Chain A
Amino acid sequence: MRARKIITGRGALGGIAEGPAMISRQTITGWGGVDIFTGKVVETGHPLEGMSIKDSVLILDGSKGSNGWSVFFHAAKEAGCGPAALVFPRLDSRTAVTAAVLNVPLVTDIAEDLFALIRVGDRLRIDGDRGIIEILG
């Protein structure tokens, strides 16, 4: 069990949610990168390939590829496989729209290097009102 750690940023969309971290410094190609019916990452060679974003805390460094980035996450949510919360260390317009569309807790503007602090599967609590990421273990 790791010691609990608190990381703070800006709470950009309110609410509190817990879930396992789905984290990658390498962002997912939105268009086609996620299976919309299962929430599984299907991008070939991606570090999270084969894992599902369902009920996770999704942490990615920006977006890439199509402006259709948001709809794949949105469609997965509609199919019951969306993430529980989002953390984008720095926002761009596509990640911001994705958060607005999913309407789940969001923490952003984080100075620390999350990708060095959090591992895939770590249990996290996200407080989107206060901008707090808590590593539970």
Chain B
Amino acid sequence: MSVFVDLETRLLVQGITGRDGSFHTRQMIAYGTKVVAGVTPGKGGQPFDGVVPVFDTVADAVRETRANATVIYVPAALAASAMYEAADAGMGLIVCITEGIPVLDMTKVLPYVHERGARLIGPNCPGLISPTQSKVGIIPGNICKPGRVGVVSRSGTLTYEIVHQLSSNGFGQSTCIGIGGDPLIGTNFIHCLSAFQADPATDAVVVIGEIGGTDEQQAAEFVQQGMTKPVIGFIAGQTAPPGRRMGHAGAIISGSAGTAAEKMAAFAQAGISVMKRPADVVPLLRERL
């Protein structure tokens, strides 16, 4: 068992012939992900690397291959359209890796995909991986190990750092999910926490947040009210100045709201064990399990 992706995941890649799309498609196939189709308008009929059938539209790909999840690697200017198309084709899971999508585009994309019953992960995210089952996105497979810890994060490389600490110390993962660093995203901490709570293969969850917004505070409330599994938390950006965007579009302290201190306090109050630094994850997990 795992969350959102598993051995049943039949993946379509939107933008399969692009620079990033082709590189990561090969990585996903090498990891064992069932990549059943690709889409690049105008390149339908020419198999990718001779093995993955490529279609002009998502609808064609779904009809021919029964793909049930899609990952998007198209440039920012085309990404909103790729998400609309995936939702229209009835995709259950849409993972959007693309960075740099205007927030105002997302104000329209999000209600559209949600009304069509799709789960959107991202945008501006590294994707997700259920170790040894399915890797969707760009998280390096070699740092992950199968196990019983769920990981959910707004970041990319910081997630790798913490997952690496877990794997090196005997804590494998059920699923690692990067939800993305943008202000408007399809799947938030609460969606992931509730999936991990319901997943019999997950014993504990690591939540990696950062400055900006109030997602972590809401997650803390959810943990306090609805979770029986232990949760360990980290917040990046304790030294970030207010009013400056720290790389991620969503990582900004607006006025006095969204600071690391306020999020860490909310975590602690909800019974989440708070890491002071990434290396604390292992001792805190040992304490709680």
Is A bound to B?
no
Residues of B within 8 A of A (CB): none
Residues of A within 8 A of B (CB): none
